[in-house]
Structure 1
């Protein structure tokens, strides 16, 4: 893309496949009857927002699920299994795609995440890819629970821009969530809505002149 020097990538359903339906079904099995409203792609219960900015601990999150299910006897393991059912994995070849993009641009990761999912992902990366983190794939990886900020709020984009001395007019943000795209636009970032499966990331970037 013309004039673009920096790219900020979302993680879920851009690089790493996630499946909201699986988690909705798992929450339904735990006893949350309105699971599709309770946890969805574009809106969800405030419990999840609070967890993504480390406003509550993993134990408080689990207690919130117990309250929502009206089942105080759910174990931590049952809750974590349901919650982690969202996570599928990195689509084949996408780590190499990121390295290829990094050769041409300054690249960053910006993910709404939480402690339970983050720990699962780090263990997955170690087991499947012998990776400890994403330090070699991005100039810097940002996760909402470490920043105590989350997308689509403007302040999370402003922090990434400021810390890395980025010119928004030279910076592209790629995300699969329309509401996050709208937040990024408010800071002057260029945006692309990822509307294909993450296994097509390379093709998507090629189609938009990035690779």
Structure 2
């Protein structure tokens, strides 16, 4: 094994996928189910994470959807970033310890607001940013593709000049794992109560 590819959410940083909807519902004084239905109907999450809309368009959509033009950018960003939980520094330290042995990459379905927040947290903990921690980062909004599409995995392999059979991929989502396996990548399903540290013990 020469190359390790990591997912971000629930692999490096714990996440709560229900938190943004919960917080936006609270801000808008609407039932969570109503906000969740709107989110799903207009597919804002996916549009933003695949780069179809930028930060400003995302915030504008949120204001229009939840009928509140008065929300400042910071209010929307804070509610959106509530998906991100406390970052365990020991996971970053373990990944850093692998830099001399493997080529390290990040592949994440994410948005610019989330990445800026994660990097802010990392620097506040005296840790390298994601772009410094990995040889290359592949963000869905940047490449305009998202897991589990086979295209995004092929893009990473091609761009980084990786051989699939020499590459391990760590992700918490079973569909993402299956898609990677079908391309010949050794995919490891990170499942609680285990964390990425458990899967890296023998690496």
Aligned to 2:171, which of 146, 152, 175? 175
Any stretches of 5+ residues in structure 1 without a counterpart? none
Q: Is the Cα–Cα contact under 8 Å of residues 13 and 197 in structure 1 kept in the other structure?
A: no
Are 2:86 and 1:89 equivalent residues in the alignment?
yes
- Residues 11-36 of structure 1: CA distance to partner in whole angstroms, max 9, x if unpaired? 11101121223223212213353245
TM-score (norm 1): 0.83
Deviation at 1:37, TM superposition (A): 5.5
Instruction: Give the alignment partner of residue 27 of structure 2, picking from 30, 33, 37.
Output: 30
**CA distance in structure 1 between the partners assigned to 2:41 and 2:128 by the alignment:** 31
Aligned-residue CA RMSD (Å):
2.3
Taking structure 1 as reference, are residues 108 and 197 closer, same or farther at Cα in structure 2, changes over 3 Å only? Answer: farther
The residue aligned with 2:135 is 139
Q: Does 1:9 align with 2:25?
A: no
What TM-score do you get using the length of structure 2 for normalisation? 0.86
Indicate conservation of the 8 Å contact 1:54/1:145, yes or no: yes
- Please give the secondary structure, in 2, of the residue aligned with 1:119: helix
Deviates more, 1:25-34 or 1:185-194: 25-34
Runs in 1 of length 4+ with deviation above 4 angstroms? 35-39
State the SS of the aligned residue for 1:16.
Answer: coil
| Aligned mates of 2:122, 2:89 — CA distance in 1 | 13
| C-alpha spacing 1:30/1:53, structure 2 compared with 1 (3 Å) | same
Aligned residues: 200
